A and B are shown apart, each in its own frame.
Chain A
Amino acid sequence: MRAVLTIAHLTLAEARRRRILAAALLLGAAFVLLFGVGFHFIVRDIGEHGASPAQRRLVLSFIVMAALYAANFLIVMTSVLVTIDTLAGEIGSGVIEALCTKPIPRWSVALGKWLGCWVVLAMYAAVLCGGVLLVARLVGGYTPPNAARGLPLLLLEGTVLLTLALAGGTRLSTLANGVTVFGLYGLAFVGGWMEQIGTLASNTTARYIGIAASLLVPSESLWQLASHHMQPPLVRDLGIGPFSPLSVPSPAMVAWAAAYVLVTLAVALRLFRTRDL
């Protein structure tokens, strides 16, 4: 465990020293600031137009969900970008050799890197999502329902992709790994929309293909589940607006995604342990 923590510490130090952490957190803060400015003016406009509390709630919910949708996309990108090179790059450059000849199990190197990247991701997600929620609360007095249930799903979504990027990095070059993981994310994204459109058009085949894509890469379905939870009950139940899934993923998808992370991580550690360096 000591080796895992030492490697995680090094991975975090690398993110800090190579200004990855600063870039992510500063731009994350800029994102929140920009959202705050826009949100402030919209809240002021709503007040001036004398909207009813229900209308006000509907508009604020829509804007907060739009911001969280953008945050979700940034979390996905960051989770992959932070991780694609961490093993692949060090294998390619030979840096890994002096690490893996130390008296530590090889899997601990991969697990330490996973942990270090995950901490960067969690910090980034906390700044983005926490910032959006804080601004919504302070400026508009609005907090989306079930935020404590929805936001961890976004972190889980990032964790799914981060773990895939670590697993890919055990055998693929940095670029091939990035192309593969973003490709898988694309499959899940398109699959998620197929599921929704299939539901809308009552096309069972399209819906099932979408569900199969979600099982293959459970990222988009986690966003849909999160957005379903974090909308006002009326919007949620009527299934109106771009952030209300018509086909709500089953809660079992969370268990599936968690198990998916564990299995993918176990596979990544094994792939790294059994490869030649």
Chain B
Amino acid sequence: MPEPALEAQALRKDFGPKTAVRDLTLSVPRGEVFGFLGPNGAGKTTSVKMLLGLVHPTAGGGRLLGQPIGAARARARVGYLPEHFAFHEWLRGRELLRFHGRLLGLGGPSLEAGLEALLRRVELVEAGDRCLREYSKGMKQRIGLAQALLGEPELVFLDEPTSGLDPLGRLLVRDVIRELKARGTTVFLNSHLLSEVEVTCDRVAFVKEGRVVSAMTLGAAERDLEVELRLERSSPSVLEGLARFGRDVREDGAVVRLRVDGEERLPEMSRWLAGQGIGLYHLGARHRSLEDVFLEVVR
């Protein structure tokens, strides 16, 4: 089995008496687009910073592309767009990319060709010779994205890459992530925009109070159905009987809700209810959105 792009084992970070990350244990295989989700203050950014060697873990360890985290060589093929991408505002767009390229050990015509391609990709060719202080918020975010993609990294960390972007800018980021996936690049995406995550990620992990509390592949989420039933009458024995078709059976006012793992359960359920002589007035089913899952996990 090939080595994962990223591995973290029991990473912990305390800032004085406060624990920012309690236990970060996860593994991201190569080529996956991985969403890292959680409420504000859950420790997402600190987790990313530990993986990138910006923050020293209090305990635990991990590997990036086979190298121990914190080592300079671990970051050789890693790109990073920080949450609030700040840079030397007196630089011009092209100069920023050239400077960061040099720090990656790039140079000469290949660096120039690479940075021109990236400027084209983030639609900043015209603005490339303008000072960054003249850039709009969205342009700054896009030049930051180009910076993260310098040198064709094998693993890219994007911390809230769509913040400050208009719908067109978001579409651009989404397309870039798809291109990275097609190229086999691993993407570690930190985002609050669950709709973005839903369309771009293969798998997500939910982090709460500094701990990964749940992980799931997004295909599975799509398969899960939330079912709502309005019955002639309900009783504990009816709820018990419904439990054989799904899970989380509960009464919610006048309706009964439960979760099933496929559409084929629906006719089975209605047949069983008819067999029990219970009138079925309404049966509604919908796929659970990532937002539903998120709210359930983090609440």
Using a CB-CB cutoff of 8 Å, which residues 101-142 of chain A contact chain B? Answer: 101-106
Q: Which residues of B contact A101 (CB under 8 A)?
A: 52-54, 75, 78, 80
- Interface hit among B101-109, B182-190, B199-207, B264-272: B101-109
Given contacts A101-B80, A103-B73, contact A14 B88 (CB under 8 A): yes
Q: Say whether B220 faces chain A, with CB atoms less than 8 Å apart.
A: no
Q: Say whether A255 faces chain B, with CB atoms less than 8 Å apart.
A: no
Using a CB-CB cutoff of 8 Å, which residues 119-170 of chain B contact chain A? Answer: 144, 147
Interface size class of A (residues with CB under 8 A): 20 to 34
Q: Say whether A52 faces chain B, with CB atoms less than 8 Å apart.
A: no
Using a CB-CB cutoff of 8 Å, which residues 4-55 of chain A contact chain B? Answer: 6-7, 10, 14, 17-18
Bound-state CA distance A219–B80 (Å) is 42
The residue that B76 contacts in the complex, of A10, A98, A103, A274, with Cβ under 8 A, is A103
Bound-state CA distance A274–B85 (Å) is 22
Q: Which residues of A contact B99 (CB under 8 A)?
A: 6, 10
Q: A192: shortest Cβ distance to chain B, in Å?
A: 38
**Contact yes or no, A276 B82, CB < 8 A:** no
Using a CB-CB cutoff of 8 Å, which residues 71-111 of chain A contact chain B? Answer: 93-95, 97-106
Given contacts A103-B75, A277-B49, contact A94 B84 (CB under 8 A): yes
Given contacts A94-B84, A101-B75, A276-B54, contact A6 B90 (CB under 8 A): no
The residue that A277 contacts in the complex, of B54, B100, B103, with Cβ under 8 A, is B54
Can you name the residue of chain B whose Cβ is closest to the Cβ of A273?
A: B56
Can you name the residue of chain B whose Cβ is closest to the Cβ of A5?
A: B102
Given contacts A6-B102, A14-B88, A18-B90, contact A276 B78 (CB under 8 A): no
Q: A89: shortest Cβ distance to chain B, in Å?
A: 10
Q: Which residues of A contact B171 (CB under 8 A)?
A: none
The residue that B90 contacts in the complex, of A3, A14, A93, A276, with Cβ under 8 A, is A14
Q: Say whether B1 faces chain A, with CB atoms less than 8 Å apart.
A: no
Bound-state CA distance A186–B261 (Å) is 74
Bound-state CA distance A102–B102 (Å) is 10
Given contacts A98-B147, A276-B55, contact A103 B86 (CB under 8 A): no
Can you name the residue of chain A whose Cβ is closest to the Cβ of B144?
A: A98
Q: Which residues of B contact A3 (CB under 8 A)?
A: 103
Q: Which residues of A contact B113 (CB under 8 A)?
A: none
**Contact yes or no, A95 B88, CB < 8 A:** yes
**Contact yes or no, B54 A100, CB < 8 A:** yes
Bound-state CA distance A99–B54 (Å) is 10
Q: A115: shortest Cβ distance to chain B, in Å?
A: 15
The residue that A105 contacts in the complex, of B15, B72, B144, with Cβ under 8 A, is B72
**Contact yes or no, A99 B55, CB < 8 A:** no
A: which residues have CB within 8 A of B?
A: 2-3, 6-7, 10, 14, 17-18, 93-95, 97-106, 274, 276-277
What are 6 of the A-B contact pairs (CB < 8 Å)? A98-B87, A103-B73, A103-B74, A103-B75, A106-B72, A276-B54
